[in-house]
Structure 1
Amino acid sequence: MPTNEKIWITGASSGIGRELAERLAEQGNQVFATARNHVVLESMAAQYPGITPIPGDLTDPDCSRSLNEQLKQHVTYLDRIILNAGTCEYLEVSNPDWKMMERVMEVNFFGAIRSLEAALPLLQANERGARHIVAVGSQASRVTFPKAEAYGASKAALTYFMETLAVDLADQKIQVSVVQPGFVETPLTANNDFPMPFLMTVDKAADHILKRIMKKPAFIRFPSSLSSVLAVGSSLPWFWRNWVAPKLTR
């Protein structure tokens, strides 16, 4: 687990982001926590002195500059950024809300890009050599799931972007990891009205991430049971799409 690092986390007011922020602060890291809910951020900071609130709305096209300016008020460099902010909505093809596709992409993909724009100069200013970008994707991007057009596509776009970014940043020795969790008990998944196989608690999800984060792997996938199933599904896309996915319909 990281210690004595300067770490920025987005989507830090709930779920995996909050669990990571609080644990990393407990371990002696200087954590900068971003979310729209500044009240929750202030409450976290009051409980954990290592947390500094950096409120911001990642759906705002102009947020990158303000986030960068807020961060620079506290640090001259960052060791690690964890791009965790995310949302989920499902497409009902019988009565489609096409604007929903934009809402999900705004947070899950463009929100991560705006965050990267704000933080990359601070990673590049780090002369210690830690320099690590962590993006929270999803196992849902590996195969098709019913009604998950927006969520799966946004996470697939994020994953491709980060994999390519890893190539382009290699000469700067900035490493990139994509976290792909399965179903985790968070406020987002509490709204799901369908079975969630291999559902895990948020503290166990944080365990998986923190145990592996120092090695900076290309992917951090969990739980292993779900990952194994999806590995087979992704290698047999026709079988998954025509035989397995239809049985997962709510």
Structure 2
Amino acid sequence: MAEYVPDAVVEPLSDDVSTRDRVARSILEHGPSTAADLAERLDLTAAAIRRHLAVLTDAGHLVAREQRVYGHRGRGRPAKVFALTDAGRETFHHAYDQLAIRALQFLRAAGGAEAVNDFAEQVMEEVRRRFTAEGAEYNAPADALAEVLNEQGYVASLEPVASGTQLCQYHCPVAHVAREFPELCAAETRLFSELLGSHVQRIATIAHGDGVCTTHIPHPVERKVS
């Protein structure tokens, strides 16, 4: 009698769902990620990661795009990075968001709108501190700001446009809270203007349903000497 060889072990459906939750949560916490990043982070095989990414992409919870490469690019096509869509973000339980919202509601009731504004300013203090510490290393303050925002998990990049530069943030850790308390977005915009020494315009925000937080930084105004 021929020796019985068991079929390949297949993850139970419940384990599949649990692993996909881990994949999606890792992208939520770390920003757009490559399959290799996820495999290393979650201690999974490349094949398993690709399988879960395919399911999440087909479900509309993830979107794939080419990885942005700065400086010299090696041979071959850039790796794909996978980012959460709005539908993907909505699958997470927002218990911490609800707790934060309730705390801010209490703060508003106890201290008024000014107390919420003061809190929003305080939230941005870490960005200010890091920018002050690192800004001297950059010729352009927008580069320093984008670097600091990346350190804080906002997944930021700069996109040149005809009228200046657009600062794009592909992830917002406080999006659901900012939806009810726009003071957070307003404080962020004021800080950007202060750090860059320029008027800036917020074009879109994740908190209000846009896919990316986008801030327009205009070219400096050249004053003619008469």
TMscore range, shorter length: under 0.3
TM-score normalised to the size of structure 2? Answer: 0.27
Larger RCO: Structure 1 or Structure 2 (Cα < 8 Å, ≥ 6 residues apart)?
1
Larger Rg: 2
